[in-house]
Structure 1
Amino acid sequence: MSHEWIAILMFSTMLLMMITGQRVFGAIGFVAVVAALILWGPGGTDMGFSAVMKVMRWNALLTLPMFVFMGYVMSESRLAEDLYRMFHVWFGPMPGGLAIGTILLMVMISAMNGLSVAGMAIGATIALPELIRHNYDKPMISGVIQAGSSLGILIPPSVVLVLYSLIARQPVSQLWLAGIGPGLLMAAMFILYILIRTRLKPSLAPPMPPEERAEITWGERIRLLRAGILPLVIFAAMMVPFVKGWTSLTESSVIGALSAVIAAVIKGRFTRDVFETATKQTLAITCMFMLIITAALSFGAVFDGLGAGRAIENLFLQEMGLSPLQVLLLMQASFLIMGMFLDDTAMLVIVAPIYVTMARALGFDLVWYGILYTITCQIAYLTPPFGYNLFLMRAMAPKDFTLGVIYRSVLPFVALMAVTLALVIAFPGIAMWLPNSIYGQ
């Protein structure tokens, strides 16, 4: 059997195992170890051990538990709830105001947490009940929460971009800065869509009732504005020293986590229960990530050992004679397909080393390519039938939010993400202007 067919068999077996309900890290790791054993004998199983040692040497992964802990402290101490209350009060009186407030909340949460799953958890526990109580259309609710939560992997501090920086050997500070422009552009497009849709059909997202508006005093509105200052202070405390070169990435993540804890203490909300819940959730998510990364590294080592990476590169560049733009579009399309079955971490560790090499050979800026990869992951997270966020939403939402409703709800937002991706491809300055300005490139 040729190496190409072995690689196809590995991928198909892995996808089949995941479709049948096996855990992601189990499916990836099992296929990697069995393939290594069959191909190279008992010595091939050492690839799994090598993957563990490689993960242990990635010091930047220490940022993962810090960012996750920061997000859960914000959630469990109700600091995120204060933020949503502020947006509720200021935007609620307009049609679609709570949906716009939800998107803005997700932007703020993304600036304090680098994971999509944390945004989903906060959106489902804080925004979802309020949107239902105000009689918002179910597809509007589902689409807004899922699309908004996906911003967490693009707006800094993005954990996905940290992992990409390790693989592509690119400065994470530049990657984070490059994610700000596309992230804010995408959020602005979501808000514009909500405004236009609710203008055409106000019943989808009715404004706050007059009697509820009358209960809100201007004093309370002004007081709630202070809730919006908090995430900006935490974001600045974490990002400014890092961008200036005063602290390392790991040190900045610790500053962010400590800032969240200090804010919760000042507000008198950092209780034993908050600390215990945040710690348990952080441990669970960190362990899940580490297992996926380890399994994916093993799979990638076998895949690369087969020469599949060089075969793909030769196929695109030599045999098919494609232009650089055509190769780029094919790479992004393959990420979309894989994203229906794999999460962003597994895709990154398995395939990105091959694609990063190709992107470098084609003359593309690897910082810019990292942003394209991340936007593509966002789209894949929301793409039926197996988008990661679709099933998270189904697990967190009430029973009347069926999979049909959830699938329909994301389609306009997926289209907007695709437009953002096309704009960043056509106009690289959207991503690169800020890092180039700050670092003088």
Structure 2
Amino acid sequence: MSYELIALLMFSSMMLLLLTGKRVFGAIGFVAVVSALLLWGDGGSEIAFSAAMKLMKWYPLLTLPMFVFMGYMLSESGLADDLYRMFHVWMGPLHGGLAIGTIALMVAISAMNGLSVAGMAIGASIALPELLRRGYDKIMVTGVIQAGSSLGILIPPSVVLVLYGMIARQPVGQLWLAGVFPGLMMAGLFVLYIVIRCRLQPDLGPALPEEERQAISWTEKVRLLKAGIAPLFIFFSMTGLFLMGITSLVESSAVGAAAATLAALLKRRLTAQVMEETLRKTLGISCMFMWIILAALCFGAVFDGLGAVNAIEGFFVDRMNLGPWEILIMMQLSFILMGMFLDDTAMLVIVAPLYVPLVGALGFDLVWYGVLYTITCQIAYMTPPFGYNLFLMRAMAPPEVTLRDIYVSVTPFVLIMILALVLVMMFPQLALWLPQWHYAR
């Protein structure tokens, strides 16, 4: 049996196991270990062991539990509630202002969390009921929350970019900096869409009533600004110190986790229940990601041993006679297709052993490609019929928001994300300028 056929058999076996509903790391790790044993005998067992040791020795992986802890501490302690109240009061007088404030909230949560699901939980539980009560169009605001929460996997500290950095062997610090401008650009495009849409159709996003605005004194508005102090303090202590070169990447994650805990303590929100829930959820998420990375490393090692990457490159370049950009576009389309059925980590683990070396062989920058991959994951999150964010929203939304509403709501935001993807592909410096500038200093 040829190596190309073995690689195809491995890939199809893995997909078959995933379709049965087995856990991602279990299906991928099982196929990798069994294939290694069948191909190389007892010596094949060393592949899984080596992958485990590589994982345990990868120092930047310490950032993962730290950032997950920070995000859950903010969520469980209610600091995110205070932040939304501030945006609510200051942005409310504008048509669509509360929706714009929701995007701003999502950017802030993304800059302190790194996970999409945390932004979705906060948006659906805090922002969505308030927006609906204020008479906002349910289709528009449902799309706003889904699109805004997806920024969590692009704006640093993105956990997805940490996983990509581990698998693609790229510096996480550069990946994070590469995600800053594309993430802020996408958030700006979302805000621009809301402003234009609500200007054309003011009834979609009514402003706060005049009597309610007058009832809020300037003293109260200034007091509410204090709600933004804690997030700014956390963000500066984490990202600012890192950019100034005072702390390393791992040290920044520890500072961020400590700052979030200190903020909850000073606000008198740090109870035993909050700490228990934060630690329990952090442990669960961190262990899940570590198992997934371990399975990905093992699977990738077997693929490297087979030379499957060279075979795929030869198939695209020699047999199909495709150019580098055509191959890249096909990769992104396949990500969107898989995203209809899988989450971002599953997609990365499945195709990273194939795509990442191929991208490097085609002459593309792997840091830049990490941003492209992440934006494509955002699009896949919101693509029917089985986009990840669609079903999270369905589980959290009130009964009056139907599944059809959720599907319809994402259409303009998906188009905006595709525009952002095209812009980053056409102008790579949108992603690469900041890391190049910072690390050249």
Task: Please identify, of 231-240 and 105-114, the stretch whose mean Cα deviation from structure 2 is larger.
Answer: 231-240
Tell me which amino acid in the other structure corresponds to 1:191. Answer: V
Instruction: Give the structure-2-normalised TM-score.
Output: 0.92
Q: Is residue 390 of structure 2 the alignment partner of residue 394 of structure 1? A: no
**How many pairs were matched up?**
441
In structure 1, what is the Cα distance between the partners aligned to 2:297 and 2:323? 30
Contact 1:296 1:346 in 2 (8 A): no
In structure 1, what is the Cα distance between the partners aligned to 2:385 and 2:374? 20
- Aligned residue number for residue 148 of structure 1: 148
Instruction: Give the structure-1-normalised TM-score.
Output: 0.92
Contact 1:103 1:148 in 2 (8 A): yes
Contact 1:51 1:294 in 2 (8 A): yes
- Aligned residue number for residue 218 of structure 2: 218
Q: Is residue 295 of structure 2 the alignment partner of residue 309 of structure 1? A: no
Contact 2:163 2:293 in 1 (8 A): no
Cα 1:388–1:2 change in 2 (3 A) is: farther
In structure 1, what is the Cα distance between the partners aligned to 2:159 and 2:49? 24
- Aligned residue number for residue 183 of structure 1: 183
Shift of 1:403: 2.7
- Aligned residue number for residue 130 of structure 1: 130
In structure 2, what is the Cα distance between the partners aligned to 1:61 and 1:117? 20
Shift of 1:395: 1.9
- Aligned residue number for residue 59 of structure 2: 59
Cα 1:260–1:360 change in 2 (3 A) is: same
Contact 1:154 1:179 in 2 (8 A): yes
Match runs of 1:194-205 below 5 Å: 194-205=194-205
Q: Secondary structure at the match of 1:165?
A: helix
Cα 1:35–1:180 change in 2 (3 A) is: same
Shift of 1:154: 0.9
Match runs of 1:77-116 below 5 Å: 77-116=77-116
Contact 1:113 1:158 in 2 (8 A): yes
Q: Secondary structure at the match of 1:270?
A: coil
Q: Is residue 227 of structure 2 the alignment partner of residue 227 of structure 1? A: yes
Task: Please identify, of 301-310 and 152-161, the stretch whose mean Cα deviation from structure 2 is larger.
Answer: 301-310
Q: Secondary structure at the match of 1:240?
A: helix
Tell me which amino acid in the other structure corresponds to 2:391. Answer: F
Shift of 1:285: 1.1
- Aligned residue number for residue 172 of structure 1: 172
In structure 1, what is the Cα distance between the partners aligned to 2:343 and 2:379? 12
Cα 1:47–1:388 change in 2 (3 A) is: farther
Gaps of 5+ in 2: none
Contact 1:379 1:417 in 2 (8 A): yes
Cα deviation, 1:220-276, whole Å, max 9, x if unaligned, reads 111212222332221121123323333222111000000111111111111111111
Cα 1:206–1:27 change in 2 (3 A) is: farther
Q: Is residue 256 of structure 2 the alignment partner of residue 256 of structure 1? A: yes
In structure 2, what is the Cα distance between the partners aligned to 1:135 and 1:31? 52
Match runs of 1:19-38 below 5 Å: 19-38=19-38
Cα 1:19–1:392 change in 2 (3 A) is: farther
- Aligned residue number for residue 265 of structure 1: 265
Shift of 1:35: 4.0
In structure 1, what is the Cα distance between the partners aligned to 2:353 and 2:25? 19
Q: Is residue 241 of structure 2 the alignment partner of residue 241 of structure 1? A: yes
Task: Please identify, of 289-298 and 104-113, the stretch whose mean Cα deviation from structure 2 is larger.
Answer: 289-298
In structure 1, what is the Cα distance between the partners aligned to 2:347 and 2:125? 29
Shift of 1:20: 4.3
- Aligned residue number for residue 325 of structure 2: 325
Q: Secondary structure at the match of 1:112?
A: coil
